[in-house]
Amino acid sequence: MCIREGERVYLLLEDGKDYLIRVEKDKVFGTHLGGIAFNEIIGKRFGELVLTTSGRKAFLLQPGIVDNLFHMKRRTQIVYPKDLGFIVLMLDVKEGDRVIDVGLGSGAMCGALARLVGDRGKVYAYERREEFIKVAVENLSIWGVLERVEIKNKDIKDGFEEENIDALFLDVPQPWDYLEVCWRALRGGGRIGIVSPTTPQVVAVLEKLKTLPFIQVEVWESLFRKYKPNPIAFRPYDRMVAHTTYMIFARKVFSENP
């Protein structure tokens, strides 16, 4: 279980600053606390540390999904971990599911979905802005889930190519325009999750949802508060993220009576 050339390493310096790097033989990685020779990293176990050229500690850790999200290359706003964990739970995404992700953006949510659906599942990712797709492909490739994703560079206004989808995540500026095609793509009982940062957007989504056979409509927002981990002065940090997005959830039903 030793760190090899080419491996991705989450580097945490003793002062809390962190980096997500790929180990390249014979190179040196520069940090504000001094340089780190990659050759010293190779062969170490995760959890061990190396010293920088200035004698400061740098811990070697495996990058996890949250580390990936905060260090990914991106050209768009991403869904925050505080919301992401709740969204995939509410969408009930699991092994074998076939899910749709609109819009792909930089691939953050898509990567999280792909990780959850496993090898037997599939994520259909729609993105109409071609310029974002290259970055997303790069990210999904780094995370090792690209083969579970089918990327489509097209607008969804005319509908999706899939049917009987288990769950659909919608992150576009005017989601109300697409709820009808979303309904069509979902299976009976299938779940939709929509993120919108402003209240007039949420209101427009709710108005549209009322005209379609969706039930169990819920709207949530999350506030996560981080505390200073100091036992003798345990208290919240002074400032926090106050708002990222509202989250809207619903489930498809059929309108026909029995």
Q: Which residues 79-138 are close enough to bind its own copies by CB under 8 A?
A: 81-82, 84-90, 92, 94-95, 115-116, 118
Binding of residue 200 to its own copies (CB under 8 A): yes
Q: Computed from CA positions of residues 64, 74, 193, 195, in that sequence, does the dihedral angle turn out positive or negative?
A: positive
CB nearer its own copies, residue 38 or residue 127: 38
Find the binder of its own copies among 52, 61, 126, 162 (CB under 8 A): 61
Burial 167-190 (b: 16+ CB within 10 A, else e): bbbbbbeebbebbeebbebbeeeb
Would you count residue 173 as binding its own copies (CB under 8 A)? no
Options 25-33, 37-45, 122-130, 151-159: segment touching its own copies (CB under 8 A): 37-45
Could you give the CA distance from residue 131 to residue 9 in angstroms, rounded to a whole number?
28
231 interacts with its own copies by CB under 8 A? yes
Residue 120 burial (CB count, 10 A): 10
241 counts as binding its own copies under rule CB under 8 A: yes
The site that binds its own copies (CB under 8 A) totals a number of residues, namely 89
Q: What is d(CA 42, CA 58) in angstroms, rounded to the nearest whole number?
A: 14
Nearer to its own copies (CB atom), residue 41 or residue 133: 41
Closest to 243 (Cα-Cα) out of 218, 222, 220:
222
Of 25-33, 134-142, 151-159, 248-256, the window that binds its own copies (rule: CB under 8 A) is: 248-256
The secondary element (H helix, E strand) that includes residue 110 is helix 108-117
